[in-house]
């Protein structure tokens, strides 16, 4: 990024339109197609004005499009640069580029910009919230700003470096993702005994001997009951015909039964 | 306690904004922790809001509506769960468990809203073919209306008409069910964790899951402390990964297509 090309006013508009309203018109048919068109409208207006090809370019941008929201600015940047240079001649290039990039970007972006931050921030914020502390919520807002910064730089990168950037960036993001997975799984591991409330209720009393199942379980492994519940949920999710809604309902039934059968307190 | 009109108004407005923010700007207002906190502020019981929100957030930890699949909406769940918990005085666990079916029902309304937007897409295409390029862009913005209404209407109706209903239900629930639901609320976060374990590359990183569990279960390290150790391990792994790939320069050129980890 040594030769810094300034983004034009139109480019900035495109970015901000995506940032604020990229998924506003999300629909089952063309998904983010409407939002994409909305975002590049200033570009179309600037390049094609009132010419006949304007509608052609517009239809081209209204097509099916769906990728990770945070990664899309890269594609918008590449698209802007190409159309500014080649105009309507690049119509097929643009269409191919969009469909070619949206798939891989969706996969990596959903992991890196949604699953991982949601896991890490969600774990910390929920854990603190359960203790009655709202401070963790600041992390959501901080992440909002971080993400905005990254999205802005993505647009610039896409605009300046074009398609050649995609491979190197993809590789870099992949490395970050696999490192971030380590952080994510460590946090989840810590979360299991911290936030799941499952305490064995069973107590056995005969003569002077008192045995509490929970005390015994603690001898084996603290957090045994929460770990078992996670294992059950994990196993259930892997069964055929199971989805998260069904497992939710099953767990509610399990909870009610476990209480009334005096397994869990 | 009865709900005031301004409380209904604020919570309703919040739900409409939060779903917009969640889809676009992402400042966390759509997260159940945040929604529970705000509902708690509005209802005058922040503690309850935080616990309802925290419990629900754990259910959808890493989940996002990828590729447009609808997911349980525990933002709406946290708002209503908190409000009803405070109004009925039955406690946060009750509110959280009550919010679960609400969140699940909201999936249908989310589907409906996204379906409504399909008409906007069609209309935009028609406008473009007529050369009205600018009017077509407005269709995207109109998409906010069905999406926000899909949260605001049920929240509003539930708060206006639901309080008495919830009160009646609560008064007639037998104790065994009430307490059973509380236990259920305690184990439900296991689902959010299990979903994540299904999604993240568990096989490759199982050791780190164990480390995290050990830290919290045996050493009683708080989650934030475990996160720091996780971060340290992630940085080490990242450094090693970089070193490894620095040696065979440009060895891997074409492995696009499987950018997804695992």
Domain segments of chain B as ranges: 5-200, 201-247
* More confidently predicted of B77 and A207: B77
The reply to whether residue B200 touches residue A184, judged by beta carbons under 8 angstroms, is: yes
Q: Which residues contact A141 (CB under 8 A, 6 or more apart)?
A: B27, B28
- The C-alpha of B65 sits at a distance from chain A's nearest C-alpha, in angstroms, of 9
Residue stretches of chain A with pLDDT short of 50: 1-2
CA–CA min distance B255, chain A (Å): 9
Residues of A in contact with B214 (CB under 8 A): 189
Distances (CA, A) of A190 to A32, A107, A183, A249, B77: 37, 26, 11, 25, 26
* pLDDT tens figures, A51-71: 889 999 999 999 999 999 999
CB–CB of A27/B121 below 8 Å?
A: yes
For chains A and B, count residue pairs whose Cβ atoms are closer than 8 Å: 426
Q: Tell me the pLDDT of chain B averaged across its residues.
A: 88
Q: Does A63 touch chain B (CB under 8 A)?
A: no
CB B252 within 8 A of CB A170: no
Q: Taking the mean position of all CA atoms in its chain, how far away is CA B2?
A: 27
Q: Which of B4, B63, B5, B67 lies closest to B30, judged by CA?
A: B63
Is A29 within 8 Å of B53 when comparing Cβ atoms? no
Asked if residues B62 and A115 have their Cβ atoms less than 8 Å apart, the reply is: yes
- Contact (Cβ atoms closer than 8 angstroms) between residue A105 and residue A166: no
Q: Does A261 touch chain B (CB under 8 A)?
A: no
What value of ipTM does the predicted structure carry?
Answer: 0.88
Cα separation of the two ends of chain B: 52
Q: Which of B227, B197, B188 is nearest to B211 (CA)?
A: B227
Q: Quick one: pLDDT at residue B255?
A: 43
Q: What is the pLDDT of residues B93-126, one digit of tens each?
A: 889 988 998 998 898 999 999 999 999 999 999 9
Separation between Cα atoms, residue A189 and residue A70, nearest integer Å: 28
Name the DSSP letter for residue A5: P
| Mean pLDDT, range B75-87, rounded to an integer | 95
Decide if A16 touches B, using CB distance below 8 A.
no
**Interatomic CA distance for residues B231 and B24, integer angstroms:** 28
Rounded distance between C-alpha atoms, residue B112 and residue B23, angstroms: 16
Strands A209-212 and A203-206, how do they pair?
Answer: antiparallel
């Amino acid at each position: 990024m040594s030769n810094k090309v300034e983004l034009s006013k139109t480019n900035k508009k495109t970015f901000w339109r995506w940032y604020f309203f990229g998924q506003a018109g999300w629909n089952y048919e063309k998904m983010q197609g409407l939002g994409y068109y909305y975002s590049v409208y200033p570009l179309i207006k600037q390049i094609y004005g009132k010419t006949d090809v304007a509608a052609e370019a517009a239809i081209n941008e209204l097509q099916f499009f769906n990728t990770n929201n945070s990664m899309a600015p890269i594609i918008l940047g590449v698209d802007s640069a190409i159309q500014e240079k080649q105009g309507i001649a690049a119509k097929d290039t643009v269409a191919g580029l969009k469909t070619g990039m949206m798939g891989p970007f969706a996969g990596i972006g959903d992991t890196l910009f949604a699953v991982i931050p949601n896991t890490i921030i969600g774990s910390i914020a929920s854990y603190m919230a359960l203790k009655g502390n709202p401070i963790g919520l600041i992390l959501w807002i901080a992440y909002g700003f971080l993400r905005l910064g990254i999205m802005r730089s993505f647009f610039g990168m896409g605009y300046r470096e074009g398609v050649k950037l995609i491979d190197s960036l993809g590789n870099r993001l992949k490395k970050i993702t696999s490192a971030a997975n380590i952080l994510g799984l460590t946090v989840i591991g810590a979360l299991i005994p911290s936030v799941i409330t499952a305490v064995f209720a069973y107590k056995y009393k005969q003569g002077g001997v008192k045995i509490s199942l929970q005390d015994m379980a603690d001898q084996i492994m603290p957090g045994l009951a929460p770990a078992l519940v996670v294992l059950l949920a994990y196993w259930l999710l892997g069964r055929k015909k199971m989805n998260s809604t069904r497992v939710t309902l099953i767990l509610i039934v399990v909870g009610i039964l476990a209480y009334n059968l005096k397994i869990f307190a | 306690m009865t709900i005031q009109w301004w409380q209904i108004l604020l919570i309703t407005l919040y739900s409409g904004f939060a779903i917009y923010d969640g889809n676009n700007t992402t400042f966390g207002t759509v997260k159940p922790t945040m929604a529970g906190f705000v509902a708690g502020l509005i209802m005058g019981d922040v503690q309850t809001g935080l616990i309802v929100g925290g419990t629900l957030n754990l259910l959808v930890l890493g989940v996002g509506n990828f590729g447009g699949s609808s997911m349980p909406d525990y933002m709406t769940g946290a708002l209503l769960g908190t409000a009803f918990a405070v109004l009925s005085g039955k406690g946060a666990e009750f509110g959280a468990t009550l919010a679960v079916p609400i969140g699940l029902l909201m999936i249908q309304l989310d589907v409906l809203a996204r379906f409504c937007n399909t008409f906007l897409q069609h209309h935009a295409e028609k406008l473009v073919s007529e050369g009205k390029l600018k009017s077509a862009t407005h269709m995207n913005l109109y998409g906010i209306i069905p999406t926000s209404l899909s949260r605001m209407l049920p929240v509003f109706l539930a708060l206006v008409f639901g309080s008495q209903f919830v009160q009646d239900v609560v008064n007639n629930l037998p104790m065994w069910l009430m307490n059973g639901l509380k236990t259920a609320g305690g184990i439900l976060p296991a689902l959010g964790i299990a979903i994540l374990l299904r999604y993240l590359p568990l096989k490759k990183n199982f050791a780190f899951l164990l480390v995290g569990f050990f830290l919290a279960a045996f050493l009683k390290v708080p989650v934030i402390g475990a996160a720091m150790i996780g971060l340290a391990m992630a940085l080490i792994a990242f450094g090693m990964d970089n070193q490894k790939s620095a040696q065979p320069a440009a060895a891997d050129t074409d492995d696009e297509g499987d950018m997804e980890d695992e």
